[in-house]
């Protein structure tokens, strides 16, 4: 029903035009494809989600919230939605990814997180992560660094996310 709870992998992973080798999406009408090949999520937001889950009474049930729990197949450190613009490029040693759009949470996110206000929390916090297209296929490995190259700076991930959330809330 959902591929949200992903798990970490060891060693290098092939990055192809449609995403990471071994990754899957359940609903291809809204996930995956060339512009949503890779879903990146800032690791800095995990403390926020652990706190929201604790407020919902889930801390004792499942205290651990490992990377991949947001549905991302790329957990990043040091790059937040507030610092990213559509068109920016993340250059890793052996592949290059381009920022395409923010993630829009769906009802399945509530179920995956275990509480019925998870989507609302994502909308209010803006902690949405962002989808990437594959500009240069290759391989990725945990712990790799990347360089951020600025794109045209026409619309930020935050601006696009807020516009989409406002549209859905009308």
Q: Taking each helix axis as running N to C, give the angle between helix 46-55 and helix 118-125, from 0 to 180 degrees, rounded to the nearest 10.
A: 140
- Spans of all domains in the chain: 13-169
Average pLDDT over residues 140-166: 94
pLDDT of 159 over the 70 cut:
yes
Are the C-beta atoms of residues 19 and 32 closer than 8 Å to each other?
yes
Among 8-12, 26-30, 118-122, the least confident range: 26-30
Q: Is the pLDDT score of 65 beyond 90?
A: no
- In the numeric block, which tokens belong to residue 117? 């206000």
**pTM for this one?**
0.92
Max distance between CA atoms of the chain, in angstroms, equals 46
Determine the average pLDDT of the residues in 101-111.
90
Average pLDDT value for residue range 94-123: 93
Q: Does the structure show a pLDDT above 60 at 133? A: yes
Q: What pLDDT is stored for residue 62 in this prediction?
A: 58
Superfamily of domain 13-169: PK beta-barrel domain-like (2.40.33.20)
3-state secondary structure of 42: strand
Q: What is the DSSP letter of 7?
A: -
What is the distance between the alpha carbons of residues 163 and 105, in angstroms, rounded to a whole number? 14
Burial of 64 (0-12, 13-18, 19+ CB in 10 A): exposed
SS3 119: helix
pLDDT band at 105 (very low <50, low <70, confident <90, very high): confident
What is the rounded CA–CA span in Å between residue 148 and residue 118?
Answer: 29
């Amino acid at each position: 029903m959902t591929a949200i709870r992903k798990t970490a992998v060891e060693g290098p992973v092939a990055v192809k035009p449609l995403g990471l080798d071994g990754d899957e999406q359940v609903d291809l009408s809204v996930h995956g494809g060339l512009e949503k090949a890779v879903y990146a999520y800032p690791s800095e937001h995990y403390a926020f989600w652990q706190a929201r889950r604790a407020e919902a009474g889930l801390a004792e049930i499942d205290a651990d919230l490992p990377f991949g729990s947001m549905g991302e197949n790329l957990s990043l450190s040091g790059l937040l939605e507030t610092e990213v613009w559509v068109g920016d490029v993340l250059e890793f040693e052996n592949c290059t990814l381009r920022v395409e759009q923010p993630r829009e949470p769906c009802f399945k996110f509530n179920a995956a997180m275990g509480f019925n206000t998870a989507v609302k929390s994502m909308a209010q916090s803006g902690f949405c992560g962002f989808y990437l297209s594959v500009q240069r296929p290759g391989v990725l490995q945990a712990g790799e660094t990347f360089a951020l190259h600025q794109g045209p700076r026409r619309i930020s991930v935050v601006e696009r996310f807020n516009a989409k959330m406002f549209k859905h809330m009308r």
